[in-house]
Structure 1
Amino acid sequence: MPDFLRSTRSRVAVTAFAASVVALGAVSVWFVLQAESRLRDAAAQLADAHADAIVQLLNTGAEPADLTLLVRDSIYEVTDHAGKRLVSCPVLDGATLAANDTDVTLRPYEIVRSDQASVGCAPELRDLDESLTVHVVHAFSGNSKYDVYAGVQIDPEGQAAVDSVRTVLTFGVPAVALLIGVIAWLAVRRSLRPVEAIRAEVAEIGAHDLGRRVPEPGTGDEIARLAGTMNTMLARLDEAVTRQSRFTSDASHELRTPLASLRTQLEVLLAHPDRLDWRHSCENALLDVTRLQDLVADLVLLGKLDHAGPDRLEPVALSEVVQAVAAGRADVEVSGTPVVRGHRTRLERLVRNLVDNAERHAASRVVVAVSAVDGWAVLTVTDDGPGIPEADRERVFDRFVRLDDARARDDGGSGLGLAIVADIARAHGGTARAEAGSRFVVTLPELKPS
């Protein structure tokens, strides 16, 4: 493709020009043909009248030779059934009017002006110094003895007007089409100006500059919606990159602590093997390894939830999941038997994390309740602990967040349990929230029986 056609505005302009040439050209040709057809129809009607008059004279007994005296101001020719010319007006030399419903051109040198029979013919033949075009029709006499051909000149003024229109359209159609192409080029260039601004802005946005946004024109059209969509996409990318960066930093920090502790214990044990209790040191090292294993498992699960495609889900009775996980660890209250479409193993992980968190903070009692409310399966986990401050009820579901950092570390918490709860609930089309006191509520869409 030529370089000048690679831009959208050039392609649109060329397309508009070509379409205009075709459309305007077709309309112009149709208009000229219709005008010429009307001129020929008018000439044909008048020629039919002249032919009918000659046929009537022949049918009443007139001879073809008598027509030079009986018929005036007409152009005609009469032949016998063999095609031999019997009389014509004007007298022709090297030309003939023997045709049917067509145009015949008579040139000045083909008309014998010296013959007396040419004198009384149509007035347009007098002083003729250029070719004359007539429309000829064909008729038969009553006994089919003679063929009568009558011709009438096409309206010269009308033909001149049609010729003028044809000339104007021949040059005007390309000019108008070119003007339309230029207007289309300018219009598209103006319309795409915001797109160029968006492109330039996006080209300057780097991985560490996702806070920038493309300009949004206030036109409310497709380009404005495109800009809005791109800004929404940039906001999501910015959030995802920020979250990923924070997650990587936090994960590195969380992994560094047990690794540093494990290394320190091993180095001290190797440096002073006779001064330390090997069994106690190995138990401490095993505790750090277990903590590392749990943390890596949580990170792997979060990674799967972040990039999970559509899972093969199945109907799961939420009350059965709660009974399997929480029985013996909490008081279970079941009101109804809601069924959800989900991943059973991950739903068990959700319940387990909530119960683990409640046990970690409860004074003496944990209650797990399951109910069905307005098409939603509702899971509630409550403990009698100190509760969550209102300002932290949303933040508590962020990754690596510990409201009581020291105690969480001692108890082996990684700060990922509630984040996993929120992601699993979200993956199942539900939500997780913290309410007043030590109360966590998970809502999942209930599976209606088919």
Structure 2
Amino acid sequence: MLRDLRRSTRLRVAAAAALSSMIALGAIGVVFVVQTQDRLEATATYTAKQRVYRIQELLNAGTPVDKINSRVPDLLYEILDREGKRVASCPATWNGKPLIARAESAGTGFTDFRLYDVDRNQREPMNCLAELQEYAYRDKPEQLDESQPIPLYNAMGYSEDQRYVVYAAATIDAAALTAAETTRTLLLVGIPLVSLLIGVIAWFAVRSSLRPVEALRREVAEISGHDLGRRVPEPGGRDEIPRLAATMNTMLDRLDTAMTRQVQFTADASHELRTPLTSMRNQLEVLLTYPDQIEWRPSCENALLDVTRMEELVADLLLLSKVEAAETGLVPVPLAEIVAACLDGREPREGVTIESDVDRAAVVLGHRTRLTRLLRNLVDNAERHATSSVRVTVSIVDDDCVLTVADDGAGIPEEDAERVFDRFVRLDDGRDRDEGGSGLGLAIVAEIAHAHGGTVSAEGSVLTVRLPRVES
């Protein structure tokens, strides 16, 4: 059961949907978080630069260093003299170490600051602590750990007289950072949940989509070899399911046709071979029973005739089975060449002449050997029933190539005009197996004509085949 579930299309599609959505959403989330962090850091760095410019303006305007803090008590800054000694800062640190680390050569830098470094005994106003405390208290207002580092994004500059180095810093906006961290947490939790939801939706969507397929499968599974006439229902719509049902019905049509042909072939062979086999058996049994009273040569000659008749019958049946299959390798064939191949060197029976009238522009797309067999069967049939003449005509009518074979015999009765093209049909004047053939000649003609997209008809003593014409 578990193995079948792992092989299930629904599970594979659902897992693929969930995994792909997780990868896609995760990539989008990472890009979003990184870009948000970059924007927050860039904003903090820009704020630090603006603070440096403000202090520089005060120094350049002649404001004493010890008065800077009263003018900008809310800024995070540090001023050093030429010897690197700190002369002013907000806030002041109790251990005397620099408040802000040295900036990079590009004029900006980054340092970590801790609240426990602040000198609480400083008398000057330190409104700048509000910014640090707002950042530190943003997520833990009741349990502040003053040893936790506060990231400062700093910038540097020089006073106009080059006496002082000015450093200023800024923290990331606490509210914006809190929103970004909340968004990151939501993404970490939400992306797997959304991916799982997408997988579940994909599971049910595929299950719903495959329900008609499962119905088709059950329907096809119930169709046995003896029930090929059944067809699966074709649902409405234009998606893949109706096309699948139509394809299955087409396949069932082909299987039904193939099975019918196989059954018909078997029935035809068994029916037609029974007579010569019975004749051979009787002759051989009589010869063995009365070896001194029966001459063996006539019996063997009769048996040989039966063998020849069976050989011809089997060849015709095999030809029919091949003709019924799909035609391949079709090429343009001039019917004039077919008539020439059939009639040149042919010796009709005594008292019968064969004439032809061929339009050389008549070209069809077909199988040369099969078309030659078609015409030969028509001429054989006409010659067998003709009184004195047979005429073969090839013409072009309504963009079709029309092949006509006529004789001056009694002709086919109107009621037999369609039946004559069935298998093993022999009319009253042609029932002699020795003279009338196996009864497959005109059936082969009809099958070859249909395989080439044409039609065949009989009217009296005139047999007509119409085939689609192609340009030579």
TM-score, with structure 1 as normaliser: 0.85
For 2:249, give the aligned amino acid. N
Q: Do the aligned residues in 2 keep the contact of 1:112 with 1:118 (CA within 8 Å)?
A: no
Cα deviation 1:293-319 (Å, max 9, x = unaligned): 2212212333443458744x6664422
Q: How far off its partner does 1:422 sit? A: 3.0
For 2:402, give the aligned amino acid. V
In 2: Cα distance, 1:405 partner to 1:207 partner: 40
Aligned equivalent of 2:395? 371
Aligned equivalent of 1:441? 464
Q: Do the aligned residues in 2 keep the contact of 1:323 with 1:332 (CA within 8 Å)?
A: no
Q: How far off its partner does 1:196 sit? A: 1.6
Partner-residue secondary structure (3-state), 2:226 = coil
Partner-residue secondary structure (3-state), 2:431 = helix
Cα deviation 1:392-441 (Å, max 9, x = unaligned): 52x544433445496253524212212322333355x3423114434332
2:290 equivalent to 1:268: no
Give the counterpart of 1:182 among 200, 225, 247. Answer: 200
Q: Do the aligned residues in 2 keep the contact of 1:358 with 1:366 (CA within 8 Å)?
A: yes
Aligned equivalent of 2:52? 51
Aligned equivalent of 1:385? 410
Q: How far off its partner does 1:53 sit? A: 1.0
Aligned equivalent of 1:108? 115
Percent identity between matched residues is: 53
TM-score, with structure 2 as normaliser: 0.82
RMSD: 3.3
Map 1:234-383 → 2, pairs under 5 A = 234-272=252-290, 281-306=299-324, 310-311=328-329, 316-326=333-343, 329-340=353-364, 342-362=366-386, 365-373=389-397, 375-383=399-407
Give the counterpart of 1:411 among 431, 435, 438. Answer: 435
Cα deviation 1:149-179 (Å, max 9, x = unaligned): 2122322222222222222222112111111
* Further displaced range: 401-410 or 355-364: 401-410
Give the counterpart of 1:157 among 175, 187, 190. Answer: 175
Unmatched 5+ residue regions in structure 2?
Answer: 137-143
Q: How far off its partner does 1:248 sit? A: 0.9
Q: How far off its partner does 1:61 sit? A: 4.3
Q: Do the aligned residues in 2 keep the contact of 1:79 with 1:146 (CA within 8 Å)?
A: yes
Classify 1:54/1:278 alpha carbon distance in 2 versus 1 (closer, same or farther; 3 Å): same
Map 1:182-221 → 2, pairs under 5 A = 182-221=200-239
Classify 1:80/1:309 alpha carbon distance in 2 versus 1 (closer, same or farther; 3 Å): farther
In 2: Cα distance, 1:446 partner to 1:262 partner: 48
Classify 1:135/1:253 alpha carbon distance in 2 versus 1 (closer, same or farther; 3 Å): same
Q: Do the aligned residues in 2 keep the contact of 1:21 with 1:173 (CA within 8 Å)?
A: yes
Partner-residue secondary structure (3-state), 1:14 = helix
Partner-residue secondary structure (3-state), 2:214 = helix
Partner-residue secondary structure (3-state), 2:92 = coil
Give the counterpart of 2:100 among 92, 97, 103. Answer: 97
Partner-residue secondary structure (3-state), 2:121 = coil
In 2: Cα distance, 1:154 partner to 1:412 partner: 107
Q: How far off its partner does 1:320 sit? A: 3.6
Partner-residue secondary structure (3-state), 2:464 = strand
In 1: Cα distance, 2:262 partner to 2:432 partner: 23
Q: How far off its partner does 1:180 sit? A: 1.0
For 2:174, give the aligned amino acid. P
Q: Do the aligned residues in 1 keep the contact of 2:73 with 2:126 (CA within 8 Å)?
A: no
Cα deviation 1:229-277 (Å, max 9, x = unaligned): 1111012101210121111111111111112112223333443456556
